Amino acid sequence: MNYTLVGGFVLILVAALIAGALWLASGGALRKQYDLYLAIEDESVAGLNTNAPVKFNGVEVGKVRNIALDRSNPERVLLLLAIERGTPVKEDTLAVLKTQGLTGIAYVELGGSTAASPLLRATDGAAYPVIQTKPSLSTRLENVLTTVLTKLDRTSSNIDAILSDANREAFSRTLADMATVSRAVAARRDAIDAGIVSASRTFDHTAQATARLGPLIEQIGRSAQSIDQLGQSAAQASTRAGNTVDAVGADVQRFTAQSLPELQRLLAELNVLSASLRRLSEQTERNPSALILGRSPVPPGPGEGPADGTPSPPTRKPTP
């Protein structure tokens, strides 16, 4: 009887333990709520497994729920992320693949959010909100190394082209020509030295001529200044002469307008006076007594009466 009770108690206890374990495994009262997000990677996700951690600025906030290829574009990988509800996943949040330590275990790192950005929501027709991604460090290094290797390969090809057989032969001919020129220069060393000495003397003479030209240039400059001053004085004199001519012209115009009519009248009167004096002179020459006695009337001729046309009275003979 005691064994039956003990066995029943053990079975009940085991069942309770199993139920408790299952309850705790499912989360129980501390069960967390998760929201699903989709991240689309354009690179290889080697090393990333399901249930890999998802971190936000280094804090674990979820796990990778599923990894699958994009059926419409095999170059892309779809990551379904289960992130704790309340995590500030925003429109400018970026997801990037990272590796942890030397083991190379990959995880998803979230970051780049700003306070002013709105929370990320699913668009119309989309099952999950889509988190933007950026290349991982390994991908960026691979791209840089690929670019560097491409440039090195191109540089190597250019060097091979430069060091081709034809260019090496041309370079050898150039060196031979330079050696020939060097020997020719060495053979004419004395003439070159004499030319250098002659050039030095020429430079000395040029320096002396330049020194002598200095005072001449200064004198020419002073002469130019004097000519300039003379030109300025001539210009001023021309201006004054123009002003004088203008003034004389104004006076002549005023004289012509005012005095010329009077002068013309005076000349006319002088002409009349001259004519009168000429007639007087002629009369005086013909009859000088007329200047004292005056002019006597001219007696009428035979048959002529007085000047008024009346018959002249008969002449009476004197009484003896």
Helix axes 189-286, 165-187, angle to 10 degrees: 80
Give the pLDDT of residue 320: 38
Integer Cα distance of 296 and 264 in angstroms: 38
pLDDT of res. 227: 77
Over range 6-25, report the average pLDDT: 81
Model confidence pLDDT, tens digit, residues 219-271:
777 777 877 787 787 778 767 766 776 766 666 666 666 666 777 777 777 87
In angstroms, how far is CA 39 from the centroid of its own chain? 48
Least confident piece of the model among 7-11, 22-26, 106-110, 137-141 = 22-26
1 band by pLDDT with thresholds 50, 70 and 90 = low
Tokens of 33: 């709520």
Note the pLDDT of residue 319: 44
pLDDT for the residue numbered 316:
46
Give long-range contacts, CB 8 A cutoff, 24+ apart: 199-203.
none
pTM, full prediction: 0.42
